[in-house]
Structure 1
Amino acid sequence: MTINSSIAHAAKNPDGSWRDPHDLLEHLSSVGTLAAAFAEQYGSGWARLAGRWHDLGKYRPRFQRYIRLASGFEADAHIKGEAGKAPHSTAGAVLATDRFGSAGRVLAYLIAGHHAGLADWFGGLEGRLGNADSRDELNEALAENPPAELLDAGDFKPDLRAIPGGKSGFSLWVRMLFSALVDADFLDTERYMDPDKFAWRNCWPVLSELARLFDAHMANVAATAPPTPVNALRADILRQCREKAAAAPGLFSLTVPTGGGKTLSGMAFALEHARAHRKHRVIHVIPYTSIIEQTADIFRSIFGEAVIEHHSNAESDPERENHASRLACENWDAPVVVTTNVQFFESLFAARTSRCRKLHNLVDSVVILDEAQLLPPEFLQPMLDVLNLLTQHYGVSVVLSTATQPALSTRAYFDARQNLRGLDNVREIIDDPDTLYTKLERVQVRLPPDWQARTDWSQLALELAAHDSALAIVNTRADARALWEQMQVHDKGTLHLSALMCGAHRSRVIADIKTRLKAGVPTRVVSTQLVEAGVDVDFPVVFRALAGLDSIAQAAGRCNREGRLANKGEVVVFVPPKPAPLGLLRKGEDACRSVLHGITEQPLARTRFADYFERLYHACELDAHGIASLLEVDGKELAVNFRTAADRFKLIADEDSAPIVVRYMGEDGQDDSIDKWLATLRKDGPQRWLMRKLQRYTVNLHRRDVAKLLAHGDIAEIIPGLFVQVSDVLYHPTLGLDPDGSPHGSTSLIV
């Protein structure tokens, strides 16, 4: 490039010398080409033009002076775009509306948002486009005579009649275009700024290669599995999944009782379906962060490093992201992604660039929603809307995998507010689920003789102690602590599991439980419901506090799981001392009482779950935060509330909880790894590999409890939004973090 050429970015070589600057025309052309390729199936022309015009404002002299002199060629000049540092992201947006009128607002959303994220129209983008400074930005850029080929829209004609899903699909379509733009921008910037990192991208094996690894693994499993009736049924489930995979893409259900091998059979379906229909990746979505590691480990043991695991237990404040942390955010270009409901669905409704970046890679993928019954009712309607759009217009196949299929078909009620726009073309993979359930029935469920009579913890502890090995599952962390304390009278070796324990601690206890059960060592465990999803333990007796019917079924899946008992396992449902907290838990408990009232036989019969979920959903507001209306486009103005919808779509209310890194030192208290990682965090700041390490030592706590611990000096804020244990007695070796804090005067500073 010539010395007078306009610059997009500048960077130093490792030896400190300045490399040739990143030519602006080259950057805009490359981003346009890459964005168009990403959006090939749903709007390549829109994406190409957004890419070519997204940094048009960088032609203005103010930006060129800034990048050549004022910024010192800092890397973050591209990413931050703070006020006063030569704004440049509005010029292309104004040009788009000048050229194409109201249709140009689609491009304006993308271009104006490529740093700060998608904005609301009213109170946001509308005012910004009409601002005199924005007009000046465009005029100053055009005065520098950008290349004519850059400004030429060619044969592009904006056609809003071709939007995937029409008016109902507008907001998702804009987010998909936005994803194509911002990922292309990040990648082309990375290619210049960090060529070594860029060189590592797109080195993944294709799914057909992974299918061969999977087939070899499953052949080995079949050859070494004991010849039990349960294993024979698992093999048949696997066979059916493979045979049904040739079916046309769309919506599927995989209805298999707990312990039936859904995880691996679901992957078998996904790989075969991908092979038959040229899908590019498999995305396995899990409800709880607490179990994502073990599922990812299962797949990693088969596929090696072709698996990415994406969740966010220990992220720094997103408002303080920098160039390094944004580029480190996964864009889901791997062939196998294991993620959480939070990450998956919040990304689909996001406005931030780092969250939206991955969306275009959902196109032509297979998505497995594991434990689909745990989709939160208060967001159910917008979730179902987006699943319909993905399957109908973006080549996505979705598998609803669960032992207790929720009632997700369309329903209309006299009160229209209770209506559900559901999933109406779901095909079941299993030939005869009812027969399968009968064959896999391994437990006898004992219901309370009196639904009004409550069982106190001391009484339950006595019953639990009467069994050599038993599992008790309760509804809250406080209940788990109370029952565990009562068990100390009978068995001081009683184990405990709850989300007050960090992931490393829980994993160690779960491994200990499995080892003890396999060796026939008496094992009594008190747990919250986290044990009900993805934790493959096998007890002869399980006690379950009254809860939703799906939770009772999941608890039953931890009893006689392998069918090795001479008789059926025993599941005892009891009414705890206090009702479940108000909200979803209470509504689930009430719906369960209603469905099981007067029932004496087969309380977990498969046919009862549709009735249960209909009652549960009827008691809930299925779009409690008004997401669907916020994302409904105004046909005249193309007005959408992207930012407000994203802020409201929080499956876990960020403002209600905060992460605390605890000093869990291993079973013997001698493992000082956490201290080393915390020292690195203090010295070097957040790095993705380090934050992933810290995730395993993180406990989320309500902010009111965090504030109390902070005031008492039990914790400290190590980086904005992330706290660390200070008191050396705050973390109990069995119970985990004590939300009430350490006894007064017992702290010792360790940070």
Structure 2
Amino acid sequence: MSENRIYAHSGKHADRSDWQLLSDHHDAVSALANARGVKIGLPLAASLAGALHDFGKNDPAFDQVLQGRDIRVDHSTAGGWLALKQAAPKDQPTAEAIAYTILGHHAGLPDKLNDQNSCMTARIETFNRTTNPIPQNLIAQEPPDFAPISHELFAKCAGPNPAFNLSLATRMVFSCLVDADFRDTESYYAKIDAYDRPRDWPSLPDLLPDLRERFDNHMNRLPDTGDVNPIRRHILHHVRAQASQRPGLFTLSVPTGGGKTLASMGFALDHAMAHGHRRIIYAIPYSSVTEQTAGTFRDLFGDVVLEHHAAIDANERDAGQREKLQLAMEDWAAPIVVTTNVQLFESLFSARPSRARKLHNIAGAVIILDEAQCLPRHLLLPTLRMIESLCTHYGCTVVLCTATQPAFDSRQLKEGGLALDDRELAPQPELLAQQLRRAHIRQGGEMSDQDLIDALAGTEQGFVIVNSRAHALELFKAAEQADIKGLVHLTTRQYPSDRRALIAEIREKLKSNQPCRLIATSLIEAGVDLDFPVGWRAEAGLDSCVQAAGRVNREGRRPLAGSILTVFSASDRPMPAAIKTLADAMRSTARRFDDLLNPAAMRDWFEHVYWQAGPKLLDAADIIGKLRVGRGGTDFAFRTIAEAYRMIDTTMVPVIIPGDAIAQREIDRLEVEAVSSGTLARALQHYTVQIPEKSREALRTNGKGDFAAQHLRGAQFFVLTDASLYRRDSGLWWEGADYIADSIW
């Protein structure tokens, strides 16, 4: 060390004139964390975490790390150990909350106790038993006043779930800390490199007058004639008229075709204006719909809209390396964020710094959960607790927006439901269901693939939706061999840019009365505004079937009597257990209700799916039970919960397809160090296909693809190198990667 000066980061000069002092880094991170904490009511807790987070860099051995020595120094445990050491017994829960964040600011939030050496208890005990390399005068410094910090944290615990609420407060402090740490480190190196990353976004409150004017102009240009448009306009006006209601939980129950996407955005704009919300987050179950909705909002509002889903994610293991500093995950500072449920909720339950970084910017948002019925059943209770805590303690308004309103009300979902009484935004949902009815659902019994092909051949325009990508591809290939005209295949095997183009082509065929026979997975059921005369849907949950029926006679231009969705049982296609449970419940409902589009039928179905399931099925991994507070302090299993909270069970990873000149240009730019990985990820997410992790490894092993620019980007951008494995009409074939590609088509 130079003149006993202690450094946080190394620079370029041998005389250390451009190295960052640890004291400067601590002061900067503490101030930045405090500023973020002010907005969520946790400034003192965030500030203390920032002041102690790199305390372990006082270890003289860390200076050797800065000089390039290949040694490991744990600099993240010492600050947590110090916080616990300095706290009185009554302040232990508060000190533990701070310690979780400090211990996790690189490796991720730890469990309090498990059988791994990475848990907080083991790390603190190990640190305490070793010879302490940190100067004693630093350890003996005046302890912080924990009382006001405890007051902050425990103010966030009010309500029936105090342990859950304290765990979320800890996550929020963690978010403030890691975002502040990333920002100061990034700023330091940007100064050395004379490069300033364009990170600043305009604030939503400053933009709202212009955004609302744009929205109003757009809505005024839409047609208001016919049967449907006046109803849509009435819904919009009724919903927006309630924007002054107190923030919190709302439902918006509007049947398919009623304009709920624009109505919910109109409410969000007006509600944010009335109550000072900091951003609007629009969360959608499917990435395909995310892309479409983001495009709609960008056309409306311009470049203030951030689209973010999990098509490509940052590589956490590279986060601490100098060349990876520009890979910092989106912090969601944009005024309007369009994302997926997976990205939103898995971030809220994540232990990883890069995903948790955005949490403090979720606070104070209007969050629209489109197609709320798609929230996964096995995670329902912890998800509802998160929604409730965000509204109660972090200034959020959450709108549960759907055509098939699920039974999340505490009056129905007795254990763990939400207080939704008198919080419906739509005018007379039961009447709307009658006014906007455009189709019938009928039972078709068992149908083979040949039966489905014959059914498609018997109509000029129609669709078939099945439950898996594999079935959709096989059915499409069989229909091709049968020489079915106007055949289109739509699946997540195709990359988003191709899917958007195919959807545009489908719309044009439907509009011009050309033959159009679509074979698809469920991706078209939510938010994809297609209008077919008839359709067929493989058995699934009633909510999915109702959504599929919304693609039949969507605009009401055809007679109701002939606009039919046929629900069928796929021969020789065993359903996954989760879908079978939902389909069995639908069959039970169908025995009691002739009309499955009747709202009473939907309530009956949800009674079987949710009300009678009980806590063991609605919190299958006992996530809520893994968050405890007692006399001995906290017992939060952050890392275990992060591993258990998976909205999609199978680990899916991205493969980039060099499908056109734009994609190839962005792939080539992976070799350009000055271009940030975040910028490239946003561009390339439009050319990615998500596949099982093992299948991607098989592609790599068999020479069909590999990680590009690994010397700069690490194992982040996997690019397909065998172009024959991808076709626009049927997407990526990854099964049997060791076969000769030409043989699969």
TM above 0.5: yes
Deviation (angstroms), 1:645: 1.0
CA distance in 1, matches of 2:190, 2:241: 45
Q: Which residue of 1 aligns with 2:580?
A: 586
Instruction: Describe the shift of the 1:400–1:356 C-alpha distance in structure 2 as closer, same or farther (beyond 3 A).
Output: same
String of CA shifts for 1:89-113, please: whole Å, max 9, x gaps: 2222122112114242222112222
Q: Which residue of 2 aligns with 1:636?
A: 632
Pairwise mapping of residues 270-349 of structure 1 onto structure 2 (< 5 A)?
270-315=268-313, 317-321=315-319, 322-323=321-322, 324=324, 327-349=327-349
Deviation (angstroms), 1:45: 1.9
CA contact (8 A) 2:331 2:361 kept: yes
Deviation (angstroms), 1:460: 2.1
Q: Which residue of 1 aligns with 2:419?
A: 424
CA contact (8 A) 2:240 2:267 kept: yes
Instruction: Describe the shift of the 1:649–1:559 C-alpha distance in structure 2 as closer, same or farther (beyond 3 A).
Output: same
TM-score (norm 1): 0.88
Q: Which residue of 2 aligns with 1:482?
A: 474
Counterpart of 1:544 (choices 537, 545, 569) is 537
What SS does structure 1 have at the residue aligned with 2:570? coil
Counterpart of 2:600 (choices 583, 607, 610) is 607
Pairwise mapping of residues 550-561 of structure 1 onto structure 2 (< 5 A)?
550-561=543-554
CA contact (8 A) 2:626 2:635 kept: no
CA distance in 1, matches of 2:457, 2:294: 35
1:95 aligns to 2:100 (yes or no):
no
Pairwise mapping of residues 448-467 of structure 1 onto structure 2 (< 5 A)?
448=444, 453-467=445-459
Counterpart of 2:258 (choices 257, 260, 265) is 260
Q: Which residue of 1 aligns with 2:58?
A: 59
Residue type matched to 1:692 in 2? R
Residue type matched to 1:678 in 2? I
CA contact (8 A) 1:726 1:747 kept: no
Deviation (angstroms), 1:134: 7.4
Deviation (angstroms), 1:494: 0.4
CA contact (8 A) 1:351 1:642 kept: yes
Instruction: Describe the shift of the 1:586–1:338 C-alpha distance in structure 2 as closer, same or farther (beyond 3 A).
Output: same
Q: Which residue of 2 aligns with 1:112?
A: 103
Deviation (angstroms), 1:125: 1.0
Q: In terms of mean alpha carbon deviation, does 398-407 or 644-653 score higher?
A: 644-653
CA distance in 2, matches of 1:330, 1:746: 37
CA distance in 2, matches of 1:198, 1:580: 55
String of CA shifts for 1:248-276, please: whole Å, max 9, x gaps: 11110010011111111111111111111
Instruction: Describe the shift of the 1:610–1:215 C-alpha distance in structure 2 as closer, same or farther (beyond 3 A).
Output: farther
String of CA shifts for 1:351-408, please: whole Å, max 9, x gaps: 1111111111122111110100000111111101111111111111100000001111
CA contact (8 A) 2:175 2:358 kept: yes
Counterpart of 1:571 (choices 561, 565, 570) is 565
Instruction: Describe the shift of the 1:57–1:320 C-alpha distance in structure 2 as closer, same or farther (beyond 3 A).
Output: closer
Q: In terms of mean alpha carbon deviation, does 729-738 or 111-120 score higher?
A: 729-738
Residue type matched to 2:472 in 1? A
Q: Which residue of 2 aligns with 1:516?
A: 509
CA contact (8 A) 2:205 2:276 kept: no
Q: How many matched pairs?
A: 713
Q: Which residue of 2 aligns with 1:74?
A: none
CA distance in 1, matches of 2:111, 2:737: 45
Q: Which residue of 2 aligns with 1:80?
A: none
CA contact (8 A) 1:714 1:741 kept: no
Q: In terms of mean alpha carbon deviation, does 293-302 or 514-523 score higher?
A: 514-523
Q: Which residue of 1 aligns with 2:372?
A: 372
Q: Which residue of 2 aligns with 1:204?
A: 202
Q: Which residue of 2 aligns with 1:416?
A: none
List runs of 5+ in structure 1 lacking aligned partners.
72-82, 414-418, 665-670
Deviation (angstroms), 1:485: 3.0
1:697 aligns to 2:687 (yes or no):
yes
What SS does structure 2 have at the residue aligned with 1:625? coil
Instruction: Describe the shift of the 1:136–1:477 C-alpha distance in structure 2 as closer, same or farther (beyond 3 A).
Output: same
What SS does structure 2 have at the residue aligned with 1:337? strand
Instruction: Describe the shift of the 1:203–1:698 C-alpha distance in structure 2 as closer, same or farther (beyond 3 A).
Output: closer
CA contact (8 A) 2:214 2:301 kept: no
Superposition RMSD in Å:
2.9
Deviation (angstroms), 1:733: 3.4
CA distance in 1, matches of 2:468, 2:41: 45
Counterpart of 1:169 (choices 165, 170, 178) is 165
Residue type matched to 2:80 in 1? A
What SS does structure 2 have at the residue aligned with 1:610? helix
Q: In terms of mean alpha carbon deviation, does 105-114 or 706-715 score higher?
A: 706-715
Q: In terms of mean alpha carbon deviation, does 712-721 or 421-430 score higher?
A: 712-721
1:442 aligns to 2:442 (yes or no):
no
Deviation (angstroms), 1:246: 0.8
CA contact (8 A) 1:472 1:542 kept: yes
String of CA shifts for 1:459-490, please: whole Å, max 9, x gaps: 22222222221122122222222332343324
CA distance in 2, matches of 1:471, 1:136: 70
Deviation (angstroms), 1:653: 3.4
What SS does structure 2 have at the residue aligned with 1:565? coil
What SS does structure 2 have at the residue aligned with 1:158? helix
CA contact (8 A) 1:580 1:589 kept: no
Deviation (angstroms), 1:433: 0.6
CA contact (8 A) 1:579 1:586 kept: no
Residue type matched to 2:78 in 1? A
Deviation (angstroms), 1:130: 1.9
Instruction: Describe the shift of the 1:473–1:226 C-alpha distance in structure 2 as closer, same or farther (beyond 3 A).
Output: same
What SS does structure 1 have at the residue aligned with 2:635? coil
Q: Which residue of 2 aligns with 1:398?
A: 398
Residue type matched to 2:588 in 1? S
CA contact (8 A) 2:254 2:402 kept: yes
Residue type matched to 1:106 in 2? A
What SS does structure 1 have at the residue aligned with 2:188? helix
String of CA shifts for 1:45-72, please: whole Å, max 9, x gaps: 22221111222222333334543x346x
Q: In terms of mean alpha carbon deviation, does 581-590 or 377-386 score higher?
A: 581-590
CA distance in 2, matches of 1:707, 1:87: 32
Q: In terms of mean alpha carbon deviation, does 567-576 or 89-98 score higher?
A: 567-576
CA distance in 1, matches of 2:298, 2:136: 52
Q: Which residue of 2 aligns with 1:562?
A: 555
CA contact (8 A) 2:486 2:515 kept: no
Q: Which residue of 2 aligns with 1:735?
A: 730
Instruction: Describe the shift of the 1:711–1:8 C-alpha distance in structure 2 as closer, same or farther (beyond 3 A).
Output: closer
CA distance in 1, matches of 2:524, 2:146: 58
CA distance in 2, matches of 1:66, 1:714: 38
Residue type matched to 1:576 in 2? A
Deviation (angstroms), 1:152: 5.3
CA contact (8 A) 2:298 2:304 kept: yes
CA distance in 2, matches of 1:446, 1:305: 44
What SS does structure 1 have at the residue aligned with 2:252? strand
Q: Which residue of 1 aligns with 2:122?
A: 127
